Amino acid sequence: MRYIHSIIIIFFFTGLVSCTDELNNDPIGLLTADQVDSDPTITTLESSVSSSYLPLKNTLNGIIPGWKWNLGTVFRNDIVLQDIAANDMNKKVSPDGDQPWMDELADFSFTPENQAFNGIWVYDYEGISRVNLAINFLTDPEISQKTGIDEARKNQLLSEAYFLRAFYYFDLVNNFGDVPLVLESPDSFEEAFSVSVRASADEVRTQINSDLAASKALASNVKYSNDSERWRVSKGAIIALQAKVALYTENWTTVLSLITELDGLGFYSLNANYFDSFDVNKEFNEDEVIFAYDHRSDETPNNTNGLRDVIGWGFFSPTTDFINAFEANDPRLLYTIGDESVRVFKIVGSTTSYVDNGNKVYIRYADVLLWKAEALNETGDYDGAIAIINQIRTRARTSSTADGSLIPAGTLANRGSSSNPAEIKAWLMSERRVELGFESQRFNDLKRWGKAKEVLSALGVNYQDYNALYPIPQRDIDKSGGTITQNTGY
């Protein structure tokens, strides 16, 4: 039966067929063959989509159990690939020899064997494998008839699945460029190997846009697609990701058009206080977060934010250069870097408690506004771009502070008038860094701006032009027998 076969083939794409001990640790949340039988239920369909969200989580061993530091799968490592690689973040508060693979990202001394690349590859392709299975179920008329699923419910689940596949492929193409494009669950290992070739980045982006278009066509015009599960993909999240895809290809008019469409929904605005987007006490009851993974305590299997524990072990502290990027008295600094008792408030989700259920925010409206400012600047609307930058700065200086201190007058003064796009771009770059610090955006920003070599070389980092793409994990090249090729320079 096709669906049982697809369960087996998932292991190929997530790098889980290379040794026996790994095969003995099935990915958490994966549907079992017992669940995928000739008489699936609505619960089967819903579970197939819900499980596709799990590779977004930061729970320790949340997908691949067993403390596999050697595979880079202990947690989702965007934070290493983005914040450490951009030199905004140190591996640890006190330098040591623990997990040296993270240090290799910081100084760009890595090789294709570095587990950071294997980790993100495994997480993203695990997500894609689960999504493909869900789409197979939901688009099979026989399955729909057998389960009796309501058409509206089916459409919502399909909308979520298409979005998630686009999300995972967007991450892969930004990290690796050309990657295998797998849109079906293969029926055999022979078929699996036949698709183990890299599609061009342009082909992958075309598929991303196609999936997002399909997702949007099926989505409802509501802020939360499921009011009791507000973490699920919504129409706002779909439009926002469409805009981000256009931003990364510098399609400025499309960026502006999509953000206008997003604003037309009337669902999103800047929160009055900067930290509200991250505060565990305000999750899904604020106005700014568009897409986030919902970490929760007291669930089985574990669904907590495992980065809380990693931070407690001394990981993830700000670099001096990152701290110096903030203007005097900017309240965003303390909210981002935290203090010695809790550390990294933004990741933990609290300034007072060491909680373990802080959400991972992937898209929020402040980010979207800064995309709009960038597009306006690139299309010659300099006043419009500056107005948005000042909107972000105004919210920052009028936010309450993490330590209760008063913000002195003159803090974060508005940017003045300018018709110099280079000057405005510099203001925008600076604002994005401090507004979105430790949100796993910085390295991609530096790359797409063509600034990575300039910025990192100035910090003494041996960044080379070919580092704009990370190496394909050597494990997967080896397992493919060479049909998956390596990026230039590695």
Interval 399-428: pLDDT, tens: 999 999 999 999 999 999 999 999 999 999
Does a structural domain hold residue 258? no
Residues 197 and 329 both lie in one domain: no
Tally the domains of the chain. 2
Which percentage of the chain shows pLDDT scores above 70?
Answer: 91
pTM metric for this prediction? 0.94
Give the separation between CA 230 and CA 241, rounded to whole angstroms.
17
Residues 441 and 469 both lie in one domain: no
Sequence-ordered list of residues with C-beta below 8 angstroms from that of 443, at least 6 positions apart, any chain: 81, 82, 83, 85, 86, 452
Give the separation between CA 234 and CA 232, rounded to whole angstroms.
6
Pairing of strands 289-293, 360-364: antiparallel
**Residue range of the domain that includes 122:** 1-202+453-479
Place of tokens 């595979």: 71
Sort residue 370 into left (φ over 0), alpha (ψ -120 to 50) or beta: alpha
Averaged pLDDT for residues 292-309: 96
Residues 57 and 110 both lie in one domain: yes
Averaged pLDDT for residues 131-156: 95
pLDDT tens across 153-168, in order?
A: 999 999 999 999 999 9
The pLDDT of residue 389 is above 70: yes
Task: Report whether 349 contacts 343 (CB < 8 A).
Answer: no
Residue 436 pLDDT class (50, 70, 90 cuts): very high
Does a structural domain hold residue 220? no
Does a structural domain hold residue 401? yes
The interaxial angle of helices 252-265 and 365-378, nearest 10 deg, is 140
Taking the alpha carbons at both ends of the chain, their separation in whole angstroms is: 41
Sort residue 19 into left (φ over 0), alpha (ψ -120 to 50) or beta: beta
Residues 388 and 458 both lie in one domain: no
Dihedral of the alpha carbons of 45, 50, 56, 61, in degrees to the nearest 10: -100
Give the separation between CA 35 and CA 287, rounded to whole angstroms.
38
- Residue 426: is it exposed, middle or buried by C-beta count within 10 angstroms (0-12/13-18/19+)? exposed
Q: At 282, which CATH number? A: 1.25.40.390
Q: At 25, which CATH number? A: 1.25.40
Residues 345 and 331 both lie in one domain: yes
Query: What's residue 35's pLDDT?
Result: 57
Residues 406 and 463 both lie in one domain: no
Residues 289 and 370 both lie in one domain: yes
pLDDT tens across 62-118, in order?
A: 999 999 999 999 999 999 999 999 999 999 988 899 999 999 999 999 999 999 999
Residues 371 and 457 both lie in one domain: no
Residues 176 and 150 both lie in one domain: yes
What mean pLDDT value characterizes the chain? 92
Task: Report whether 235 contacts 290 (CB < 8 A).
Answer: no
User: How many Cβ atoms from other residues are within 10 Å of residue 32's Cβ?
Assistant: 10
What are the C-alpha distances in Å from 172 to residues 14, 55, 166? 13, 13, 10
Residues 398 and 462 both lie in one domain: no
Does a structural domain hold residue 92? yes
Does a structural domain hold residue 253? no
Residues 198 and 338 both lie in one domain: no
Does a structural domain hold residue 252? no
pLDDT tens across 235-283, in order?
A: 999 999 999 999 999 999 999 999 999 999 999 999 999 999 999 999 9
Residues 398 and 475 both lie in one domain: no
Closest by CA to 153, choosing from 318, 43, 295, 51, is: 43
Does a structural domain hold residue 237? no
Give the separation between CA 400 and CA 397, rounded to whole angstroms.
8
Does a structural domain hold residue 196? yes
